[in-house]
Structure 1
C-alpha cells in the first residue's frame, strides 16, 4: 500500500506541473540553464511555449552584455541570445570581441593581436601587420623571424562571469613555411598579474605536436642522415616537463588553430587583472611562420 501511495503521489505531482500557468513555468525554466531549457522544451507543449518567453532568455543574457547595433532587428530575446553565441561582437574599437558560451550563457572574450603585448611587434624586420578575410579582426600579426618569442595579454576578471572556470587559448594559424617550433616547445601560463604563475608545455607546430604526441620518429636512410638526426636531438633535447601536462594545438571550426595556455577560476566579486603569456626564449633558435589572431578567454568545458 505504501508503494501505491508513493506512485500515486508522483503521478499527481507531474500532472500538477502541466496545470501551472505558462508564466510560472517560464520562471522555473529561467532558473535552469539555456541547455536545460532547450531540452525541456521538447517535453510538452506548455514547456515549449514557455521556453520561447523573453522573460526566460533575458535571464540568461548577462546584465552588462554589449548591445549589437542591430538589436532592434531581433524578434525575441532567444534570437538575440543565439546570435551572440554565433556572431562575436567587436568591442573596444575592434581590439576585442564578445560572445556567449551557448550551453551556459557565460561570457567569452577574444583579445585581438593588436591588444596583446608582442615583443618586437612594431619592428618590420621581425613582425608585420596584415589583413586576412577569415579573421574577425581588421589586423593580425604575422611572425617573420624572431629569436625571442614573447606574447602576453591581460583582462580584468570583473569582465568575466563569476564562479566560472575559464581557460585561455592562443588562436593562430601557420604559413606554408614555418620553422623554429618543430623541435622546441613553448611555455604557456595564466594567472593574476604580478604573481607567480604555473607554466605548462605548449606545442605550436601542428605536425611536430602530432609526432610528439604519438612518438612518431621520421625515418631517414643513410649513415649521414642518421648522424644528423643524432646531432639534432642533442642540440634540441625534448622538454623535461611532464608529458601528460603538455598542451597540443587543435583545429577550430572557424579554420584557425588554438592551443590552451592555462586555466583560472574566477570567484564571485573578484576584481584582479588576469594575465596570459606564451613564450619561447630558451631554445636560441629563430622562429617564423605563425599568424596570430589573438587570445580567447572562455569557460572551460567539463
Structure 2
C-alpha cells in the first residue's frame, strides 16, 4: 500500500422575477449558487392577502434580504475538489444549510485516502491519510503495517505503523489550487510514538517544499516526545497568494543518514489547514 500521488440589476417583468425563484442562477465567478425554491421552504415568496394586495410590498423582502436568503457562496474550487468524492459520502445540495453542515464535518475523497472540510471562516482544509502518502517500504509488511482502524473523529481510516526500517521516508503532495487564496496555511504531520519505540537517537527531518522550489526544514528529536499520544508536528507554512506558489506542495518526514533501525512510529495523516 502507500499510494503514489498522486450576482444584475433588476430588469424585466415580474414574471422574470418569479422565474428566478424557481431556477438556479450561476454568477460570473462560477462559485455562487442560487438554491431552488422547491428545495428550501425558506425561499418561498410570502403569501399575499387578496384584500391587501396593494400593500404587498410591505411583506416582500428587499433586495439585500432576498440575496442573503437565496445566494450560497460555494467554497473555493469546490466543484473540482469534490469530483473525486467517495461514493459513501455524496454531497447533499438540497439546501445551503445541509451542504454547509456536511462540509463542516467533512467528506472523503479518493477512496477515503483524503478528507476535505470547510472551517468556520469558509476556508478549505485537507487531511491526507497514510494510504494517500508515499511511504518507502510500505509495501513490505516486515517494515510497515498499513491497516484500517476506527477513529472517533474520522471513522475508518488507514494508518501506517512502523515495524522496522533504517531508511525512514514519508512524502505527501497537494495542489495549491485546492486551497483558499489569501490564507496562510500550515502543513503538519499527525503521528504517535509507541511505548516500545526505539532507534530515534538521530533527529527526524520535517520539510515543506513549495511550488517555486523553496524549502522549509527543521529537525525533531523523537526521544524527547511523549509516547502513546497523537502529536502534531509542523512541516512548514505558506500563504496562498503569490503566483510563483501555484502548483504542488510536497511535505515530508525522513531520516536515513543515521543508519539506525527504527521502530514504533505510527503515521496517521498529514493535515493542511489555515494557521490559527
TM-score, structure 1 as length reference: 0.60
Displacement of 1:257 in angstroms is 2.9
Unaligned 5+ residue runs, structure 2? 1-60
Aligned residue pairs, count? 206
- What's the counterpart of residue 188 of structure 2? 169
Query: Where do 1:121-140 residues align within 5 Å?
Result: 121-134=138-151, 136-140=155-159
Does the CA-based 8 Å contact 1:125-1:145 persist in structure 2? yes
Note the alpha carbon deviations across 1:94-138, whole angstroms, 9 max, x for none. 221111122x11111111211211111112211111121115454
Does the CA-based 8 Å contact 2:77-2:178 persist in structure 1? no
Query: Where do 1:134-149 residues align within 5 Å?
Result: 134=151, 136-149=155-168
Distance (whole Å) between structure 2 residues aligned to residue 54 and residue 178 of structure 1? 55
Identify if the C-alpha distance between structure 1 residues 161 and 283 changes in structure 2 by more than 3 Å, giving closer, same or farther.
Answer: same
Query: Where do 1:168-187 residues align within 5 Å?
Result: 168-181=187-200, 183-187=201-205
- What's the counterpart of residue 71 of structure 1? 92
Match for residue 209 of structure 1 among 183, 205, 225: 225
Query: Where do 1:181-260 residues align within 5 Å?
Result: 181=200, 183-192=201-210, 195-204=213-222, 208-209=224-225, 256-260=230-234
Identify if the C-alpha distance between structure 1 residues 142 and 99 changes in structure 2 by more than 3 Å, giving closer, same or farther.
Answer: same
Distance (whole Å) between structure 1 residues aligned to residue 91 and residue 174 of structure 2? 27
Unaligned 5+ residue runs, structure 1? 1-20, 28-49, 211-248
- What's the counterpart of residue 24 of structure 1? 64
Identify if the C-alpha distance between structure 1 residues 63 and 266 changes in structure 2 by more than 3 Å, giving closer, same or farther.
Answer: closer
Note the alpha carbon deviations across 1:43-66, whole angstroms, 9 max, x for none. xxxxxxx6xx352xx226335153
Identify if the C-alpha distance between structure 1 residues 159 and 63 changes in structure 2 by more than 3 Å, giving closer, same or farther.
Answer: closer
Displacement of 1:164 in angstroms is 1.6
Displacement of 1:286 in angstroms is 2.0
- What's the counterpart of residue 117 of structure 2? 99
Does the CA-based 8 Å contact 2:91-2:99 persist in structure 1? no
SS in 1 for 2:150: coil
> Is 1:118 equivalent to 2:135 in the alignment?
yes
Displacement of 1:193 in angstroms is 5.1
Distance (whole Å) between structure 1 residues aligned to residue 266 and residue 62 of structure 2? 51
> Is 1:273 equivalent to 2:221 in the alignment?
no
Identify if the C-alpha distance between structure 1 residues 106 and 268 changes in structure 2 by more than 3 Å, giving closer, same or farther.
Answer: farther
Larger RCO: 1 or 2 (CA < 8 Å, sep 6+): 1
Identify if the C-alpha distance between structure 1 residues 193 and 152 changes in structure 2 by more than 3 Å, giving closer, same or farther.
Answer: farther
Displacement of 1:260 in angstroms is 0.9
Displacement of 1:22 in angstroms is 6.0
